[in-house]
Amino acid sequence: MSPAATRRYRVRFFELGEHETFVFATSEEDAISKAAAMHYLGRTGAVYVQLFQEHQMGSRPCPGGALMSSQTNNALNTVVHGDCVQVMRKLQTASVNFILTDPPYLCRYKSRSGQTIANDDRDEWLEPAFSEVYRVLKRDSLCVSFYGWNAADKFIAAWRAAGFRLVGHVVFPKSYASSVRFVKGMHEQAYLLAKGDPHFPSAPISDVLDWEYTGNRLHPTQKPISVLQPLIEAFCPLDGIVLDPFCGSGSTLVAARRAGRTSVGIELDPKHAETASLRLNAPEFHGSNSS
């Protein structure tokens, strides 16, 4: 197959709850075959195929070095590929309204297929990252951060060192076990962190929110949009900017778009940054809430 003949396609399947997959192929038929093989599905399950133009504006992540201006507005609705500490240092102080992020859990994660998470085996980035998170967040605003329970002491220390107050804790019960050791791991968790003195929301959400399984098809620890969107709607003003400095496959950014907010994503892994950028710029489909 000639590389020059290869194009990027987006394929969706009913069998995966209208899940989307991105593949490189030479034709629509080739894209369906490859996407079906990736998920062990029949080709009849493909319901939509779209060719992505390689040079379409906004279809590729912005390299971190290209974000030279200190104006956060230059990066709106963009995925920036780079180290989040270095990228955030180029953003204005007090320039975003809400931060929702899922950093590495410091648990040396390895999926059943052998996938790992960058920097999940070291914690030197933790305090510098949340120091920048605190700086770029507007005063009297909130941050929601997922975290690894086994390293809760390190996360809490880093948040407090940055200046955050712990003002809430959200648990997401699962219908399945992510791991089985002394106990079955059947929940995710996140802290609600405050900078300054934010107002209470007019309609507070529960601190227990049901989880929806994504299948981790786009990222080893992919979070469901159905969980992220209510957090954005509760804690970010309608005209606000959402930042995710560990954006992975871009679920926070898609959730922000669905919630009518502007967003900025930062991702270290180039493949995940590409996926996030494609999702952020892709047309919406009705009925899909977890991909």
Q: How far apart are CA 285 and CA 243, in angstroms?
A: 23
Q: How far apart are CA 275 and CA 38, in angstroms?
A: 16
pLDDT in tens, 275-290: 888 888 776 544 344 4
Which residues of the chain are under the pLDDT cut of 50?
A: 1-4, 14-18, 40, 42-48, 50, 52-59, 65-70, 285-291
Give the pLDDT confidence score for residue 175 in this predicted structure: 87
Nearest to 215 by CA among 145, 115, 135, 108: 115
147 three-class SS: coil
Give the pLDDT confidence score for residue 22 in this predicted structure: 67
Indicate the DSSP class of residue 243: E
Q: How far apart are CA 276 and CA 58, in angstroms?
A: 11
Give the pLDDT confidence score for residue 287 in this predicted structure: 39
Give the pLDDT confidence score for residue 223 in this predicted structure: 87
Q: How far apart are CA 110 and CA 121, in angstroms?
A: 11
Q: How far apart are CA 154 and CA 162, in angstroms?
A: 12
Contact 291, 18 (CB under 8 A): yes
Give the pLDDT confidence score for residue 21 in this predicted structure: 65
* 15-to-5, 45, 119, 207 alpha-carbon distances in Å: 29, 6, 34, 32
Entry pTM: 0.75
